Amino acid sequence: MVSLEWQIISIVRGEMMKIITCIKQVPASSDVEVDPETGVLIRDGNNVKMNPYDLYALEAAYHMKEQRKDVSVHSITMGPPSASDVLVEALQMGSDEASLVSDRRFAGADVLATAYTLSQMIRHIGGYDVIVCGKQTTDGDTAQVGPEIAEFLGIPHVPYVKEFMEVKDGSIILRSAYDSCDEIVEVSFPVLITVDKGAFVPRLPSYRRRLSFKDYKIPVVSLKDFNDKNPDNYGLNGSPTQVEEIFPPSSTSETVRISTTPEESGKKLVDILKESRFL
């Protein structure tokens, strides 16, 4: 519900709440080949998709938009021109605007250079209240880009968000799930949050939205548009990380050992199976 108070504030400010979502195109399957010479992932243009965590980030943004009505969602991604496919998808899902961050000089960026580039992009857009990222990507898996963007922008960040409890005037109450505990925080705008899987049921791309964005041209933003135009701060040049080797992670499986009486073991087993919805 939009409170009267907030409506009045909105009218006085005459501004919409602005959310920026950072999304990424990733390989569609975990079966990705690595160039043995360079250690770089061989990206197959036909076998790509939006980073699954970003679906939840987008849904979080749309959730806020539905709660407040006066919200605009701007999705950005960094990558080659073909990466704009994920922006088209975001527009079809619920974003109002989309921009591609693309420049040959951004290529080969590590976590730090990527976060710096995106922070420059966000400064370029300006006027934001909330930046939403997926918790991590399924190709890089670092979960660091979001928090590093916040550091570059000098704003607070909240990671591992799994619930949006309340969107207030100028702040938001969030629940984050850590390994050992949940944390509920209220944080003022502007803020960056990273969203975990399961926070929402991500919506699907809509045919009607696709029609309404048929003539939308996604703007491309490059180094010349940024405040910091020094190419040494971007791409491979701006990346302190040296990749020595890339290899697929080993698969892990969790074993639960129940050692008690047969009756209790049975009960526990049933509980575990129920909890996992096998029963």
Contacting residues toward another protein, per CB under 8 A: 28, 46, 49-50, 52, 55, 92, 201-208, 277
* Closest to another protein by CB, 61 or 223: 61
* Interatomic CA distance for residues 22 and 111, integer angstroms: 14
**At closest approach, how far in Å is the CB of 237 from another protein?**
34
* Interatomic CA distance for residues 245 and 142, integer angstroms: 16
Compute φ and ψ for 215, nearest 5 degrees.
-100, 10
* Closest to another protein by CB, 168 or 203: 203
**At closest approach, how far in Å is the CB of 210 from another protein?**
8
* Interatomic CA distance for residues 180 and 85, integer angstroms: 37
Name which of 126, 142, 125 is nearest 134 in CA terms.
142
* Closest to another protein by CB, 159 or 202: 202
Q: Which residues on adjacent β-strands are paired with residue 132?
A: 21, 193
Q: Which residues on adjacent β-strands are paired with residue 166?
A: 173
- Virtual CA dihedral for 7, 8, 11, 17, nearest 10 degrees? -50
207, two tokens: 């045919």
* Closest to another protein by CB, 138 or 194: 138
Residue 255 CA to its chain's centroid (Å): 31
* Closest to another protein by CB, 208 or 257: 208
**At closest approach, how far in Å is the CB of 26 from another protein?**
11
Q: For the CA atoms of the chain, what is the radius of gyration?
A: 21
**At closest approach, how far in Å is the CB of 47 from another protein?**
11
**At closest approach, how far in Å is the CB of 5 from another protein?**
29
* Closest to another protein by CB, 25 or 194: 25
**At closest approach, how far in Å is the CB of 208 from another protein?**
5
